[in-house]
Amino acid sequence: MIFLNDILSAIPLGFFLSFMIGPVFFVLLETSVVKGFRAAVVFDLGVVLADIIFILIAFFSSYRLIQSIKDDPALFIFGGLVMLTYGIISFIKNKKESRKTIDEIDPKELAKTNYFSLFIKGFFLNFINIGVLGFWLAILITIGPQLELKASRMITFFATLIIVYFITDLFKIILAKQLRSKLNPKNILLIKKVISIALIICGVVLLSQAWFPKEQKIVNSAFEKLEGEN
């Protein structure tokens, strides 16, 4: 009965997590529309792996260590610069492509798929966002005591959360894929440009978290509350 309650508690959170707006959200939809279902699933598996690693780091590391890591401006600057640079390079590349005539653009070339690179892309796009670690730490601090910090219950809860998150992503991928039949080279380039701009914005936001650390108040207050109880 306890495990059933843990599963039921994780389901809405997993669903909510799938719709959190960020670079992964946009790139996942772009990958589904431009490259298809399998490519998007492979990309998402990379994202999920990064999430699992973050959960393990948050669970096995000391709270004080995570606190120092998640608030380190250098990590936000690094992640923000990587994301910003990637977005700018992608935008410039797409800008050059758009200068070609429609006849010169090969749709297959635009939508070509390298599954390994997509997996790595999904992993690193999520992993460089140190804010994700802060998110999982906040979840761990909030939910952990309710689960009595028992390994079996924690595994049940987070495994359910990740599974629900992944299944919800599959539905998003399927829905986005429906647009693929309406694509032409011009539309593909437009989508890629929009995603590049979204990545640039996300990179700037990540950098702003280094410049304005007060935005991390929610996690900090949760941590302080936990310390106060101890």
- The proportion of the chain whose per-residue pLDDT surpasses 70, expressed as a percent, equals 68
Q: Say yes or no to pLDDT of 61 above 90.
A: no
Q: How confident is the model at residue 56 (pLDDT cuts 50, 70, 90)?
A: confident
pTM: 0.69
Per-residue HEC secondary structure of the chain comes to CHHHHHHHHHHHHHHHHHCCCCHHHHHHHHHHHHHCHHHHHHHHHHHHHHHHHHHHHHHHCCHHHHHHHHCCHHHHHHHHHHHHHHHHHHHHHHHHHHCCCHHHCCHHHHCCCCHHHHHHHHHHHHHCCHHHHHHHHHHHHHHCHHHCCCHHHHHHHHHHHHHHHHHHHHHHHHHHHCCHHHCCHHHHHHHHHHHHHHHHHHHHHHHHHHHCHHHHHHHHHHHHHHHHHC
Q: What is the pLDDT of residues 147-185, one digit of tens each?
A: 777 888 888 999 999 999 999 999 988 888 777 666 656
Separation of CA 228 from chain center: 31
- Residue 212 phi/psi, 5-degree rounding, is -125, 75
Q: Report which residue type is found at 144.
A: G
Asked if residue 222 lies in contact with residue 142, where contact means CB atoms within 8 angstroms, the answer is yes
Q: What is the pLDDT of residues 182-227, one digit of tens each?
A: 665 666 677 777 777 877 887 787 777 666 655 455 445 544 554 4
pLDDT attached to residue 150:
81
Into how many domains does the chain fold? 1
- The proportion of the chain whose per-residue pLDDT surpasses 90, expressed as a percent, equals 17
Q: Say yes or no to pLDDT of 44 above 90.
A: yes
pLDDT attached to residue 182:
66
**Residue 41 or 102, more confident:** 41
Structural domain that includes position 213: 2-229
- Residue 128 phi/psi, 5-degree rounding, is -75, -10
For the chain, give the mean pLDDT: 75
pLDDT attached to residue 215:
46
